[in-house]
Amino acid sequence: MELQTKDLYNPSMADIVAVEELTETEKRFEIQLPGDTALKHKPGQFVEVSIFGFGEAPISICSSPTKRSTTFDLTIRKTGRLTDKIHLLTAGSKVGIRGPFGNGFNASDFEGKDILFIAGGIGLAPLKSMIDYTIDKRDDFKRIIIVYGTKKPSEILFPSEIKKWQERDDVEFYMTVDHADADWKGNVGVITTLIPPLKLDEENTVAAVVGPPVMYKFTAMALKAKRLPDKNIFMSLERRMKCGVGKCGHCQINNSYVCQDGPVYNYLRVKELEEAI
Amino acid sequence: MHLKNPLTLQNKGYVFFDSETMKTFISFLMNQAELIAAHKKGESSYVFRAAENVDEVILDYPRTIQPLKKFFLPPRETLLNFNLEENDFDVPDMETKKRIFFGVHSYELQAIHILDYNFKRGNPESNYLKKREESLFIGISYTPDEYHFGKSVGLEIEKTEGMCLYIEPMEAGYYMFVVDDNGLKLLTEFSSETVALKTETIKPQPKEFQKKIKYHYNRLPQVFDKVYDSSVWKKVSEKCVGCGTCNLLCPTCYCFDVRDEIELDTINGKRERFWDGCMLNTFAEAAGGENFRDKLHNRTRHRLFRKFKYITEHSGELSCVGCGRCTSFCPANISIIDIINNLIEEVSLNS
Ligand code: SF4
Ligand code: SF4
Ligand code: FES
């Protein structure tokens, strides 16, 4: 058996170099691999983050490889024992990192096109890696339209980046909250209410959609109503990736291993996968 | 789609062993390597374990509870040992151990072959593949009981592929068929002289399978193309309790979960993997709490599709080897043969 086998399950012990509190439940961690090694990721890929004794979880990378070569960012929501523990960590602590895993977004699918980013809730984190990428390579893309919805104003991620996007005249930014508070002056309503008013050149627009599971069907319907062809829609799907390397079986949607074939799927493929959305 | 060709029943000839010679041969093998064989456990159950005493080795058994996969993909395996004080880890030694698996049935070999495929594919996994090195398999024929259906999935009892020797019991002893050079080498070393192999045709008593799938196995992928929305899934899942036994004991199921355990000293611990199964409710749960296969009938469908379609699409082979474990150990008496035959009936009615 002359096979090149790898130590698939050994994490690299990486340094947390900065922590930023984004919301009550989300923090951004800037991570540096040992020996300043570059992660060499694509936008839309994920890593497995672990803390000994607490386990491992798949987390999307939220920074673009065009930004910094030796560190990358993870936005982590508190959802359980492991992520609660990660939230207690400060700069100087170490976490285990395996990856990058998954296919990520293919820049060539978007180049020369109008790009419509649709992010629901924490879906903005994985999309931000691609948003940053397209802004950093601005000339490779035509319009950049960002549509973002959260439950309430206090859950808005990346307010400083959002401010920059709003200030740029080559980025169109729209956002909404499901439930407003006293200070909120913007749109109120679910994210799909932002889609009908958009003026789109449907044949030349490519959409990238990431959000909670309930969002995909309604977003797809709204995009169909705008006559966007199925092949122009990409979705990044969340599953319980345990191993990240196509072995443990946890991430399967029908015959597709999300950690290998996904998490980014073209909508034509999503429609074939009955369990997808 | 056309499945890979069924196996050839090949051998280079045979020698004859009487019962005493067989015992001496087993002792000889026990000196050569760790010998894994079937042993009795309780009244009518059997397990594979390392042989300590020739007289305890069982040659005639229907099936063991756990399949051979437990030696290559253990039910619980340490991936890393970690130290919380140093926040560091090391990887346990993965020494390859010479092992001879004695008296295994053809479906068991085919199951190992399927596991090999999955652990080599894409990212080859050393944990499994290291343990697979240096294994020899000595096969044996078996008498099908009410749960075996090997022939229906292309696995005749005498399928010798992957074995080095194959044993056919007869009245006064055993025919020892030589399948490959490793087998010949073992026999030569055992008799310490050149082995004269007989090649005259012998006719062992024909053994019939009591259970059959109604279609030839080549047609099963087409059946599974049509039954995704079948009413059969709900019907067969009514009695299912979602215990996952059918996954855990299946020789070709390899899904696993990973968990960290901290020792009582609160400093050391392990990252371990455990057998997991897609019939268990939590299997497809995501971080946000969504369960993408929360209905039993969806999980049953997924289990069967993994055996007859999803993996078959790229491996070209069925992932069910007809051992009957999922059926004989199911607490709800759910029969995989009945599920498949119900699906076939539905497809033939609708076409
Ligand atoms: S062994 Fe039987 S009861 Fe248990 S999950 Fe499988 S089919 Fe259901
Ligand atoms: S599905 Fe059942 S009969 Fe088929 S290999 Fe697995 S346990 Fe054996
Ligand atoms: S995460 Fe383990 S197979 Fe995909």
Domain residues for the domain of B131 are: 6-72+92-190
How does residue A109 score in pLDDT terms, banded at 50, 70 and 90? very high
pLDDT at residue number B172: 87
**CB-based contact B121 A246, cutoff 8 Å:** yes
Cβ–Cβ contact A254 with B under 8 A: yes
Return the CATH class of domain A12-101.
Answer: mainly beta
Under 8 Å between Cβ of B17 and B173: yes
Pocket lining for ligand 2, CB < 6 angstroms? B 250-252, 307, 320-326, 336
Cβ–Cβ contact A55 with B under 8 A: yes
What are the sequence ranges of the domains in chain A? 12-101, 107-236
Between A214 and B200, the more confident residue is A214
**CB-based contact B287 A53, cutoff 8 Å:** no
Report the C-alpha gap between B211 and B350 in whole angstroms. 24
Cβ–Cβ contact A1 with B under 8 A: yes
How does residue A76 score in pLDDT terms, banded at 50, 70 and 90? very high
Domain stops at, among B173, B190, B207:
B190
Percent of chain A predicted with pLDDT > 70: 98
Please list the ranges in chain B whose pLDDT falls under 50.
Answer: 6-8
Which pLDDT tens digit goes with each residue over A235-258? 999 888 999 999 999 999 999 999
Residue B222 maps to a domain: yes
pLDDT at residue number A6: 57
Per CB-CB distance under 8 Å, the chain A contacts of B122 are 245-246, 260
Global pTM? Answer: 0.92
Q: Which amino acid is at A133?
A: Y
Residue B111 maps to a domain: yes
Residues B240 and B170 in one domain: no
Residue B260 maps to a domain: yes
Report the C-alpha gap between B335 and B149 in whole angstroms. 11
Which pLDDT tens digit goes with each residue over A153-210? 999 999 999 999 999 999 999 999 999 998 898 999 999 999 999 999 999 999 999 9
Give B144 to chain A, closest Cα distance, Å. 31
Residue B108 maps to a domain: yes
Which pLDDT tens digit goes with each residue over A78-89? 988 999 999 999
A211 pocket-lining for ligand 3 (C-beta < 6 Å): no
**CB-based contact B129 A3, cutoff 8 Å:** yes
- Which residue puts its alpha carbon closest to atom 2 of ligand 2? B326
pLDDT at residue number B8: 45
Give A137 to chain B, closest Cα distance, Å. 32
Residues B275 and B329 in one domain: yes
Nearest CA in chain B to A272: B228
Which of B235, B239, B245, B276 has most ligand 1 atoms within 8 Å of CB, for mutation? B245
Closest atom of ligand 3 relative to the A258 alpha carbon: 4
- Indicate the CATH number of A107-236 among 3.40.50.720, 3.40.50.2300, 3.40.50.80, 3.90.105.10: 3.40.50.80
**Contacts (Cβ under 8 Å, ≥6 apart) of A188:** A176, A177, A178, A179, A180
pLDDT at residue number A210: 96
**CB-based contact B123 A7, cutoff 8 Å:** no
A247 pocket-lining for ligand 3 (C-beta < 6 Å): yes
B-interface mutation test, from A79, A255, A274, A275, most B Cβ less than 10 A away = A255
Residue B28 maps to a domain: yes
Query: What integer is the mean pLDDT of A90-102?
Result: 95
Cβ–Cβ contact A155 with B under 8 A: no
Domain stops at, among B140, B155, B190:
B190
Residue B83 maps to a domain: no
Residue B203 maps to a domain: no
Alpha carbon of B55 to ligand 2 centroid (Å) = 30
Residues B41 and B135 in one domain: yes
**CB-based contact B119 A247, cutoff 8 Å:** yes
Residues B184 and B227 in one domain: no
pLDDT at residue number B280: 86
Cβ–Cβ contact A275 with B under 8 A: yes
Alpha carbon of B351 to ligand 3 centroid (Å) = 37
Residue B80 maps to a domain: no
Split into its structural domains, chain B has a count of 2
pLDDT at residue number A182: 87
pLDDT at residue number A228: 96
pLDDT of A135 above 70: yes
For every residue of chain B, which 3-state class applies, written as one string? CCCCCCCCCCCCCEEEEEHHHHHHHHHHHHHHCEEEEEEEECCCEEEEEECCCHHHCECCCCCCCCCHHHHCCCCEEEEEEEECCCCEEECCCCCCCCEEEEEECHHHHHHHHHHHHHHHCCCCEHHHHHHHCCEEEEEECCCCCCCCCHHHHCCCCCCCCCCCEEEEEECCEEEEEECCHHHHHHHHHHHCCCCCCECCCCCCCCCCCCCCCCCCHHHHHHHHHHCCCCCHHHHHHCCCCCCCHHHHCCCCCCCEEEEEEECCCCCEEEEEEEECCCCCCCCCECCCCCECCCCHHHHHHHHHHHHHHHCHHHHCCCCCCCCCHHHHCCCCCCCHHHHHHHHHHHHHHCC
Give B65 to chain A, closest Cα distance, Å. 22
Residues B186 and B245 in one domain: no
**CB-based contact B260 A53, cutoff 8 Å:** yes
